[in-house]
Amino acid sequence: MSNKNTPDTTPVEPAESQSNTQTATFSRRGFLKLAGASGFATAANTFASSAKADPSTPDGTPEQVHLTWGEDPTNEVVVSWGSAAAATHPRVRFGAGSDRKETVHAVQRTYTDGLNGEVVFTYHARLRGLKAATTYQYEVTADNDSNMGSPFSASFKTAPRGRTRFRFTSYGDLATPNTNWVLSSPQSRFAVQAVERFQPLFHLLNGDLCYANLNPAQQPAVWRDFGNNAQTSAAIRPWMPCPGNHEIEFNNGAQGFDSYLTRYTLPHNGTRFPGRWYSFRVSSVLFISLDADDVVYQDGAAFVAGPSPLVPAASTGHPAIAPGTSFYVRGYSDGEQTRWLEKTLRHAENDDDIDWIIVQMHQDALTSSKTGNGSDKGIREAWLPLFDRYGVDLVLCGHDHDYERSYPVRGCNHHAGIDATTGEKVDTLQPKPAAHPHASNGNTFDTSHGTIHLILGGGGTSAPLDVYGVDTGNGNPQAKVFTKPNRPIPGTAAGTFTRAGADALEDAIWSAQRDTGTGYGIAVFDVDPGERGGRTSITMGYYHAPGADQKATADYELFETIVLEKRCRD
């Protein structure tokens, strides 16, 4: 494990199956520097060029290749991809070292985009019976793959078994590097490369993957750009996503998630809503991924701003969508997700092999961003009491395009907020900082006293620099809070609509650290499970990209390091 007090300068190791290798090193302050070549020197970049189909001749050529964990990360990985047309006999051939290679035939999943009528083809191959902590090589192809003579190839490593150290990374709000799309940015490419800089076992992608619903006539094209960009990393290590508000699309399923659900195969949750939420375990850490769209008050999904209606392609058979219409899905599971969450946390409480619980979701319970969305009382009502009761250690979010870290929090203060319009007292369920958060010093926290919330919304979307609320005069910034359902409201021009802002304000007494220099960054977590009866720790280094708002850059520098530490379960 590298010392996170200084940026990692370890050279990238090329994958075993890479050809035409390039020399790659890291500068002390900057990002990856390549000798005599442009691009990113990993196997995935070499393979990505042969894994993107020619759009002029649609066929079964694999592209947008990505990995996810299966039911048990030590022995199961899912390989998923798309193709421009239906693939004939899509399959994955894989093996470890000199072992005999096996072939798994993929399952096809399709959907027809509800706005432009395009049929999208995706494929999923579940690789079972793998050995723990083992590197596997694999190839993806089909009978009508135009690169069949030299198919897409890459490698991945399964999770370790037992109490073993590992690394993972996280951010949300990635978008695409194709600036033809709304909210996309060149930084999206560098953000994917940043994951490869740190060589994690896997990456958590905290919602708002590509913002396709902001580009309604081109939703499948935006998803395709996103997938081909993410492939640089996601084809060689699992990327585990959660849905955000921008995964919700008109006419694409009951909750608008068909684009998302068709592309990803995720661990089963045993409910009527597969793919929306799930859990998996690596070493002594239980990871829980949630869909906060189900509980938040804010209406952050697709809506028609006007003045013209949104008119789907005639081939879809769908009627025009009137200005002011929004796709508001709060409460869609009727509490089933929350019941699943409590059951999952209760089982973890009785599992002596689990020391840490990390939750991933998109929207925020604690954020003081001035230009972003705001905190949401819906999450505070539904899930923060469960996090307190069962000792959740860390919550990773996106949504607001910045970095913010809370103190460990537990419990809440009542009637500590005010109505944003009238100034009257409002109960925002203001989270309360823990009384004794530190394990040893100012940068080491004992999460047995409370849950730390991280806002990691700086994947690749454009972000303003002036993102935080004003100081209220008592040393605390002011945070916006949604405390009741909201809908689009009339805009200044006739027939136009805009989103209603948060209805309440509170002092952000829970806010411990904020990056005021840039919105872009990546969190790197090193887990040391320790020995039973001893101490266990998670070291988090947050790396940001100063100047990325003004110019395309690949420079990531260390912003801060914190350590979470507590006793192992006996």
Q: In angstroms, rounded to a whole number, what is the distance separating the alpha carbons of residues 17 and 25?
A: 20
73-118 pLDDT per residue, tens: 999 999 999 999 999 999 999 999 888 899 999 999 999 999 999 9
Round to whole Å and give the CA distance between 422 and 485: 18
Q: Which H helix or E strand runs over 140?
A: strand 135-141
pLDDT of residue 570: 76
Per-residue pLDDT at 57: 81
For the residues 445-466, what does the mean pLDDT come to? 86
More confident residue, 245 or 469: 245
112-149: b (≥16 Cβ within 10 Å) or e? ebbbbbeebbbbbbbbeebeeebebbbbbbbebbebee
Question: Using CA atoms, how far apart are residues 432 and 509, in angstroms rounded to an integer?
Answer: 7
Cα 514 from Cα 456, distance rounded (Å): 11
For residue 182, pLDDT beyond 50: yes
pLDDT at residue 15 in the model: 29
Q: Helix count (H) and strand count (E) of the chain?
A: 7, 33
pLDDT-based confidence at residue 471 (cuts at 50, 70, 90): low
Helix (H) or strand (E) holding 444: strand 444-445
Place of tokens 């996601």: 234
What ranges do the domains of the chain cover? 166-567
Q: For residue 293, give both structure tokens.
A: 């769209």
Name the more confident of 450 and 471: 450
Q: Which class is domain 166-567?
A: alpha beta
The length of the chain in residues reads: 570
Q: Is the pLDDT confidence value at 203 over 90?
A: yes
Model confidence at 557: pLDDT above 50: yes
Mean pLDDT within 389-398: 98
Show the tokens assigned to 203. Answer: 């990456």
Instruction: State the pLDDT at residue 24.
Output: 26
Q: Residue 326: pLDDT above 50?
A: yes
- Where b means 16+ CB within 10 Å and e means fewer, 314-341 reads eebebeebebbbbbbbeebbeebbbebb
Higher pLDDT pick, 348 / 468? 348
Residue reference for tokens 């879809």 = 316
- Token code pair at residue 264: 């990803």
Mean of all residue pLDDT scores within the chain: 88
Residue type present at position 59: D
pLDDT at 553: 62
503 vs 499: CA distance, rounded Å: 12
> How far is residue 328's CA from residue 474's CA, in Å, rounded to a whole number?
37
How confident is residue 463, by pLDDT bands cut at 50, 70 and 90? low
CB neighbour list of residue 347: distance below 8 Å, 6 or more residues apart: none
* pLDDT at residue 135 in the model: 97
Encoded tokens for 336: 């089933």
Q: Is the pLDDT of residue 17 over 70?
A: no
Three-state SS annotation for 53-109: CCCCCCCCCCEEEEEEECCCCCCCEEEEEEECCCCCCCEEEEECCCCCCEEEECEEE
Q: From CA 407, how far away is CA 198, in angstroms rounded?
A: 26
Query: What is the model's pLDDT at position 386?
Result: 98
pLDDT over 70, % of the chain: 87
Closest CA to 367 of 339, 336, 330, 395: 395
Do the bridges between strand 119-127 and strand 107-112 make them parallel or antiparallel, or are there none, so unpaired? antiparallel
Where does the pLDDT of residue 11 fall: very low under 50, low under 70, confident under 90, or very high at 90 and above? very low
The yes-or-no verdict on residue 143 having pLDDT over 50 is yes
Asked if residue 40 has pLDDT above 90, the reply is: no
Helix (H) or strand (E) holding 222: helix 219-234
Q: Report which DSSP code applies to 256.
A: S
Instruction: Measure the CA–CA gap between 525 and 521, rounded to whole angstroms.
Output: 13
- On whether the CB atoms of residues 277 and 291 are closer than 8 A, the answer is yes
Distance CA 185, CA 179 (A): 6
Tens digits of residue pLDDT in 490-515 = 999 999 999 989 999 999 999 999 99
Higher-confidence residue of 333 and 462: namely 333
Question: Is pLDDT of 395 > 60?
Answer: yes
Reported as a pLDDT band with limits 50, 70 and 90, residue 552 is: low
| pLDDT over 60 at 284, yes or no | yes
Task: Judge whether 196 and 228 are in contact, CB under 8 Å.
Answer: no
Find how far residue 66's CA is from the centre of its chain: 14
Main-chain phi, psi angles of 567, to 5 degrees: -75, 145
Could you please report the per-residue DSSP string of 321-381?
B-TT-B---TTTTTTHHHHHHHHHHHHHHT-TT--EEEEE-SS-SS--BSSS--EEHHHHH
What are the CA-CA distances from residue 153 to residues 7, 48, 65, 142, 336 (Å)? 30, 9, 10, 13, 40
Q: Could you report the per-residue pLDDT of 208-223, keeping only the tens digit for each?
A: 999 999 999 999 999 9
* The one-letter amino acid at 537: S
Helix (H, G, I), strand (E, B) or coil at 191: helix
CB of 455 closer than 8 Å to CB of 406 = no
| pLDDT score for 476 | 79
Q: Is the dihedral of CA 188, 399, 513, 527 positive or negative?
A: negative
**Helix 219-234 vs helix 187-198: angle between axes, to the nearest 10 degrees?**
30
User: Is 29 or 206 the better-scoring residue by pLDDT?
Assistant: 206
What is the band of 26 on the pLDDT scale with cuts at 50, 70, 90? very low
Poorest-pLDDT segment among 32-36, 76-80, 209-213, 375-379: 32-36
Residue of 37 and 188 predicted with greater confidence:
188
